[in-house]
Amino acid sequence: MMVEMIKGRIRKIDILARWGGEEFLILLPDTSLENAVYLAEMLRERLSKMEIPEAGRIIASFGVADYFSEDTIDTLVKKADDMIYKAKNEGRNCVRYMNECE
């Protein structure tokens, strides 16, 4: 249900992957940070309106990071992961993103 909703909103070139127990990655090629944050906020809002039988309401925290030429997969994932923890520490069910200044 949740995955189908996300797949229905992302493009064919985007990649949705499970990353651990309750975490997912969405890779958005050729997407600005601003558009990625917009998508994350829209998905967060839609997910927060879903109710899963036996699980109840869903909340989702999103960490968004921009790719730079010096990034490796490890540094990019770490930046996004840092933003997820920031979102969780700031009350959950929100989007946090890393810009050039951080």
Catalytic residue among 22, 54, 70, 100: 22
Homologous superfamily of the 2-98 domain (CATH)? Reverse transcriptase/Diguanylate cyclase domain (3.30.70.270)
How do residues 32-89 score in pLDDT, each as one tens digit? 999 999 999 999 999 999 888 887 888 899 999 999 999 999 999 999 999 999 999 9
Confidence of residue 100 (pLDDT cuts 50, 70, 90): low
- Domain locations in the chain as residue ranges: 2-98
* Burial group, residue 87, by CB count within 10 angstroms (0-12, 13-18, 19+): buried
pTM above 0.75, yes or no: yes
Chain centroid, CA 102 distance in Å: 18
Identify whether 22 is a catalytic site residue. Answer: yes
